[in-house]
Amino acid sequence: MITQTSISYYGLNYVEHAEADFKEMKAHGVTQVILAVTEFDFDFWRPNIPAIVDKAHELGLRVLIDPWGNGKYFGGEQVSKFLQDNVENRQVSALTGEKLPYACFNTNSYRDYFKNFCTTLAREAKPDGFFWDEPHYAFPKGIASITGGVADDWTCYCPVCRKRFEDYYGYPMPKYMTNDVKQFRWREALVVLADTSKALKEIDPKLEITCCVHATQNGYYVSEYRGYDNWDMVGACPYFDVFSTTICNWALPEDFFLDITRRTVAIAKKYGKKSERWLMGYYKQPKDWKQVDHWVDIAVKEGVDRLAAWTYRGGYGTVVGAPDALKLWDTIGENYKRVVGR
Ligand SMILES: [Zn+2]
């Protein structure tokens, strides 16, 4: 049964404007807001964030805070203050040695920054939980990703990662992706999220953690290798409560959506978590609106616990808005109302 229907929401500034938007979400069958809090929001709009969370609660919506695009380590279009303020602690290309515009989440500098961001918001805003939104290494990304493109280069080859690798394995980090490098990347990628999730639960054990990874094949021939493609390792993390996989473009074959959905539910069940599937509620829309109903039916039939969509109003007014953004939003809303709690 679908127990929660979520929509992401950004551009939060004024409580009274958020209130009107929250009412519109309620009318669209939404039960849970994924509140995308940027580094700028945290730095500048902090006083209003708790008030916005309070208002959502008052209207009967659950709230999960999404550190949207934080350090450009998480998915998202907005800019990163961490990268602006730090010329070091960036991910480094293994092939060229160039510093990249992605925070290295294996450095203590970023780990401290991220943990402080989340624990501060937990204490001040009192959300229902946190949402880890497509965390990833910069490279590579495979053809199974909606963001697409095969790549040979990989990260992170920064001084901190190289030292940690050598300390652990007893030899210098290779420049090509060996099995040790893969294992190192998977293990280190989970440390930052596990540590922060643990710290959040120490503040309030009821804080719920969703980890949302890219919806990829991860098969024998194709894998993303962006750090969270080993779903067993992600699912086994004891501090995560919900195993979630991100959107599939509407243009992808139904079998792909079905395969991702089945594997998501299987991993969630295997590790005693709730499962969540995302719908593409921005950028693209299906040729036939009935596809939304059909994919929602697939999720229900396969035993998904939660549905979520990116984003409020179909991205209306942004460069990633769907062609008929408001129609897409309404169609998702109709589906939410049709399936939630049934
Ligand atoms: Zn690094």
pLDDT tens for each residue of 312-329: 999 999 999 999 999 999
Q: 333: CA distance to ligand 1 center in Å?
A: 41
Q: Is the pTM of this model over 0.85?
A: yes
Backbone phi, psi, residue 62, to 5°: -75, 155
Element housing 258 (H / E)? helix 254-270
pLDDT at 146: 53
Q: 143 in helix, strand or coil?
A: coil
Q: Are 183 and 215 in contact (CB under 8 A)?
A: no
Average pLDDT value for residue range 192-208: 98
Q: Which amino acid is at 182?
A: K
d(CA 135, CA 141): 12
pLDDT band at 151 (very low <50, low <70, confident <90, very high): low
Q: How far apart are CA 170 and CA 134, in angstroms?
A: 31
Is it the case that residue 144 has pLDDT exceeding 80?
no
161 CA → ligand 1 middle, Å: 4
Nearest to 240 by CA among 189, 184, 201: 201
Location of structure tokens 């179909």: 314
Q: Per-residue pLDDT tens for 247-300?
A: 999 999 999 999 999 999 999 999 999 999 999 999 999 999 999 999 999 999
Distance 163 CA to ligand 1 centre (A): 9
Closest CA to 214 of 278, 268, 157: 278
What's the 117 CA to ligand 1 centre distance in angstroms?
Answer: 20
Name the percent of the chain lying above pLDDT 70: 97
Distance 218 CA to ligand 1 centre (A): 23
- Strand pairing partners for 171? none
Residue 140 has pLDDT above 90, yes or no: no
- Measured CA to CA, the distance from residue 301 to residue 295 in angstroms comes to 10
